[in-house]
Structures are given as structure tokens and as C-alpha cells.
Structure 1
């Protein structure tokens, strides 16, 4: 781990001449602290002390934000583009998973006979074929998967060829959100087993229904390349194994900053290298 000369120079923001007290730390400093906190699974106070130790060992002439500044500044921290290391791919793969905010586990409930009282957040991820997180959104459990698609696509500023998701995203609202963002995109979403073709018969969903009826779902998956959807399942597994399945913050604005910092760290790890799995 190191601090580059450019990072040290940008650690404290330049004076703008605006009225009011100037900020002591730049957004880069807050972002770095949140990233280190997520990677090393530390509360805010411990993250502050850890960064002070790093700065002292590296003899870096920088001040470290205190835990209160990290919590407050994380709310309004601007979200930079997630993909920086490599060019994003041509496939957008979307899915969601749950992250626990607080609450006892099942073993504790059964042993002590206490109620669950769990609170969850839903993390929506958009992955490309290179295992990069290109968009994310954190919502309450009441937000459905199709509802978050438009917000995810709004974060993607590069063109894509294919949108892929599981059967929970089957429906006209999702397809319309994709076409509003990328009119020429190919929507690969398995229709429900009771799905029927449209009256006009000119939607992208109709050929999927006919192919599944004639050749079966496995043949349809091979034809459409639906196997790529396991990339988003792997991304969620990596997220939970590296950063945990529970959130540290208790309020939604800080939780959004927490998931964003985790995604930035995950992309940085992906840029450094991915394991190559070979069947033997």
C-alpha cells in the first residue's frame, strides 16, 4: 500500500474563495478512507487509527480525517464512475441480493427464543462480461428488481449490445427502460413458463418464447449465451466473501457510500487479476 505524490498533493482541497469555512479534506481523502475501511473490515474509529499508522510509517505529510468527518462527508461524496481500470464490455448483466443491516442470526433466535427483528437492504448490481461492476443501487427491500433497472442504466455512460437478467426482470417495463437507454440492445431475459407471444408478434420477447417451446430452455440458453449470467452471481458471492453480508452503517445514505466504496475496491481487485479456472 502506498500514497502517490499526486494523491498527497490532492489530499487537501484548494481554496476556492467561497464564503464559509473551507473543507479540510478533499473528496479523495474521504474516498480513500472509506475504501480502506471496507477492505479491512474496520469501524470508523479503527479506520482512522489505521490510516494514521500508515501515514506515520510511510512518512506522508498528510492529516487523516476523523471518524465523524468520514461519516458526515460520506453522505454527499460524489459517486465517480465505477469502471476506471479497463474499458467496459458490451454486455450488461443485472441481478440483486440482500445485505443485512442488523439482527440476530437463526442460531441465536432458536437458542434464546427471541424474535428476528432483522432489517435488510437490497443491493442491485450491473456487471459486464469482464466481471467489472459498472453500476449499483442500494434500496429498501420494498423496491422491486425491475424498478431499479432504470437507475442502474442511468449510471452507464458507454454503449452496450446485450442486456441480460433472470426471469424476475421479464416484463415490458424492463424492456422499455433498456430501449430508452440503448434502442438497439438485445434483451436476453427468460420469459415465464406461462408467457405468451404478443398480439403483434414483433417484440424481442416473442422469439424467446417460440424457441423455448420448440427446443427447450437449455437449448435457448446456449443459443442466447445466457450462461454469462453466472458472472453476476459470482460478483455477488465475491462481494459478500470479501466485504461481508452485513452492512456497517445504519442509515441509508451512509450505506450507499459503503456499497459504492466496496464496488470500487472490487473493481480494483478485478483489474489486478482474476483466477483462471480450467476444467480437468
Structure 2
């Protein structure tokens, strides 16, 4: 096309990444409440040790990771956060929720998000929200379970009575698999490694990856129709 496009070198991009402020994903055009599906995955840091291994074949015993937290709604990433790998999944929830301006009707997460802090934060933030989180096998009913059971108490009783598969079918927990698909898509398209070395730069790099995926989603997605055999 004979276009001349000015492109900054990598060192310039690295210096500017620390102060680059990226906006959160744009609010959706429709007014339907959000069905929030949350999960996290590990991404490797391509630091000095990994560079030595790549260039000289040096064996590195210790790997360094960051944890990428993503919230999905209808195929679109509505909020994201990159933390150190020592940060527990529930700890990242408040910062993720602060990025959401829409009304959330349903929250789906795996057992890592079970507990009073996450459930209470969701209840305080979104009125009437449905929380679908599987309690662990060792979960204990609350003190008021006999007279005023909470949603978690009802989940525990349903799991004890009917089993895990029945509970998943009844609550629609299978929809959480979309988050696993999203994680695979992020790693396949954006990559499994962060090239930046500073945490702030890595956060910028991760948010750029999220913006790229959302842009690709906005361009169009395949539709599937069932046809007769």
C-alpha cells in the first residue's frame, strides 16, 4: 500500500508504558444486566533470567509469574487486573468491581471465591445479585440455617442432598466454562508471557492485550445454528 507509518522503537514504548493510563472498557450500549463470569490465570514474566536461558541455554530453576484476573460478560472482557502471584483471587474482587459501571445480575466463580467477604461485597454493591459459587465439601451451615438460611446455606444443602452435578445443572454453573475459554483465547492470541519487567508496565501490557481482544470481539463473532443430520 506504500504507506509510511511512524512506529516508536521498543525502548520508547517501554519507558512510556509506566505512565500510560488506559481507560476501562466502554459501557455497553444495551441496558441488560451483566452476567459476570470471573477467573484468573498465570502469565510468565520474561525477565533477565529467562533471557539468559533463551540466549545461552542457562537452566533456570525458578520461574516468576503474575496472576491475570479477568471478568467476562457475553464474550467481552468488562474488567481486568494484573497482580503478583501471591494475591488470592478473592482479594482482587473489589478492584475488579470498581471498574464496572453496569448493573450485575449474576456472578459466577469457582470455589476459590467462596466465603463471606466476596459474597458480602457483591450484595453491598449490587442489589438482588445472584451469586453462583460452589461451596467446598467441608463447608459448614451458618448459625441461622434452620430458620433463615442464606443463599450459601441453600447451596450447601442442595449439594449434600442431590450431588454436585445436579446442583450445577440447577444453577447453570456450567456457564462458568466461558471463562476458561476466554483464558485459552487470551493466551493463544496475546501470549503466555509478559515482556515488560516492571509491574506497572506489565499491567499496561495486560490491559492492552484485553483491549485487543475486545476490539476483535466487537468486529464480529461466528454464529452457530443447529441443522438436521
Q: TM-score, normalised by structure 1?
A: 0.71
Aligned-pair CA distance for 1:71? 2.0
Give the count of matched residue pairs: 218
2:197 aligned with 1:253: no
Q: Structure 1 CA distance, aligned partners of 2:169 and 2:198?
A: 43
Aligned-pair CA distance for 1:113? 8.7
Other structure's SS at 2:194 match:
coil
Q: Deviations over 1:231-277 (max 9, x none)?
A: 11011000000011111111111110111011011011111222345
* Counterpart in the other structure of 1:70: 13
Other structure's SS at 1:58 match:
coil
Q: Structure 1 CA distance, aligned partners of 2:26 and 2:4?
A: 31
Structure 1: runs of 5+ lacking an equivalent:
1-53
2:118 aligned with 1:148: no
Larger radius of gyration: 1
Q: Residue 219 of structure 1: which of 142, 161, 166 is its match?
A: 166
Higher RCO by CA contacts (8 Å cutoff, separation 6 or greater): 2
* Counterpart in the other structure of 2:62: 117
Other structure's SS at 2:205 match:
helix
Q: Structure 1 CA distance, aligned partners of 2:118 and 2:180?
A: 20
Stretch deviating more after TM superposition (149-158 or 268-277):
268-277
Q: Structure 2 CA distance, aligned partners of 1:273 and 1:158?
A: 22
Q: TM-score, normalised by structure 2?
A: 0.85
**Structure (1 or 2) with the greater strand fraction:** 2
* Counterpart in the other structure of 2:71: 126
Structure 2: runs of 5+ lacking an equivalent:
none
